[in-house]
Structure 1
Amino acid sequence: MIREDVVIRQAKIEDASGILHIQEEVVLEGKFLTTVSEEFNKTVEQQRDWVEKVLKNDKETMLVAVYQGTILGWIVFFSSNRVRLSHTGSIGMMVKKDFRSMGVGKLLIKHLLDWAEQHQSIEKVSLGVFLTNQKAIALYKDMGFIEEGRKVKEFKLNEDEYVDDILMCKFV
């Protein structure tokens, strides 16, 4: 396990290409994302703009897991600009396939939750996950997230196959 040597830090604009590379890999896997490979056409410039936008918002953050100079994964926290939703936000996370089940995702979530706890206005961290992504669901539960609902047959994978979207949250 490489966990002790992994550094979790705030993303930088220069990390955009590494973050994009992970997104491209995960999208190509085609298992657990709403986006299919034919739809994914983000450029490095668009990725830089996205990272910069997140980093400029003091109610949002993006963290990266780095091992020997390589980005292994990332997590992002989005918030709403709506007053009635200002106490909550959603996370998205991706880890390179070869580094899953090694504690990288757990480290990213831990650091994100630590960050959220330091922001008094943030009370709730939410996420959505495919029902078929049982490893991710187990990780989220291990980190204290609870299932608060589900959207039945939210994702249509093909003509006869659907997947529920499991809605989870943790109060911080």
Structure 2
Amino acid sequence: MIIENKTIDGRKIKWILRSPVQSDGNQLSEVRLKIDGETENLDREYGEAYMSPEDFEKLIYTDSIAEKSIFLVAEVEDKIVGFARCVGNKLRRFEHKADFGICILEDYWGYGIGSTILENILAWADEVGIEKISLTVIETNNKAIDLYKKYGFVEEGRLVKDRRHRDGNYYNTVIMGRLKCF
């Protein structure tokens, strides 16, 4: 699914919300790698599950033609600073569901980018008939958990000692979901 570009006058920053294009592959690969090294909030460590520019180009194409998937980027001054995907399920028994993930460069936290992306994805999901969106988040990422709750997500469970970080400690993963209200 492709959306029209939207200029957002956010908290102290002006940015563009848009669908990625093929030429964004290089930037997306670099941004993902950098984000993975900035925080323990994501599943990957720096360099793990590397996605090349070509991998992103394939993903951009696949998501652009999929009826129940959307890929969005946040761009500030011609620089991609974050992205999110909501990916529908093709299996008949699960076609009412989609999985959501988001990542934003740490320098751009607190500007409302995550909230705006989430609002747009939820509006799109409602429009295309996605009834449930699922996500996972590390239990220590309280800002993200609070944001998701604000938008109707509820905790559905926890995966205990699901991840082990560089500090040697185990952390739980919170499973959250949002059901469309009819």
TM-score in terms of structure 2 length = 0.86
Q: CA RMSD in A?
A: 1.7
Which of 58, 62, 66 is the matching residue for 1:57? 66
User: Does the 8 A contact of 2:38 with 2:106 survive in 1?
Assistant: no
Equivalent position of 1:142 in the other structure: 150
Distance 1:39 1:111 in 2: 29
Is 2:31 the partner of 1:22? yes
Secondary structure of residue in 2 paired with 1:153: strand
1:124 paired to 2:132: yes
Identify the match of residue 104 of structure 2 among 91, 95, 100. Answer: 95
1:48 alignment counterpart: 57
3-state DSSP of counterpart to 1:135: helix
Find the aligned partners of 2:143 and 2:29 in 1 and give their Cα distance. 23
Equivalent AA in structure 1 for residue 141 of structure 2: N
Question: Is the contact between residue 41 and residue 138 of structure 2 (CA under 8 Å) also seen in structure 1?
Answer: yes
8 Å CA contact 2:134, 2:178 repeated in 1: yes
**CA distance in 2: counterparts of 1:136 and 1:158, whole angstroms:** 21
Q: Answer whether contact 1:30 1:37 (CA < 8 A) is retained.
A: no
Q: Which has the higher helix share?
A: 1
Letter matched to residue 18 of structure 1: Q
**How far 1:11 sits from its partner (Å)?**
2.1
- The equivalent residue for 1:85 is 94
Q: Secondary structure at the match of 2:165?
A: strand
What is the identity, as a one-letter code, of the residue corresponding to 2:41? F
Distance 1:41 1:160, change over 3 A: closer
Give the unaligned 5+ runs of structure 1: none
TM-aligned CA deviation for residue 2 of structure 1: 3.2
Q: Structure 2: 5+ residue runs without aligned partners? A: 1-10
Q: Deviations over 1:5-60 (max 9, x none)?
A: 22212222222222222211111124112222242432111121122222221110
Which 10-residue stretch deviates more, 56-65 or 27-36?
Answer: 27-36
Show CA shifts across 1:82-129 (max 9, x none): 111100011110111111011000000001011111102x10111000
Which amino acid is 2:16 matched to?
V
Relative to structure 1, the CA distance from residue 148 to residue 38 in structure 2 (aligned partners, 3 Å threshold; closer, same or farther) is: same
Task: Give the equivalent residue in structure 1 for 2:177.
Answer: 169
Q: 1:65 to 1:160 in 2, by over 3 A?
A: closer
Query: In percent, how many aligned pairs have the same letter?
Result: 26
Corresponding residue for 1:76? 85
**What is the TM-score normalised by the length of structure 1?**
0.90
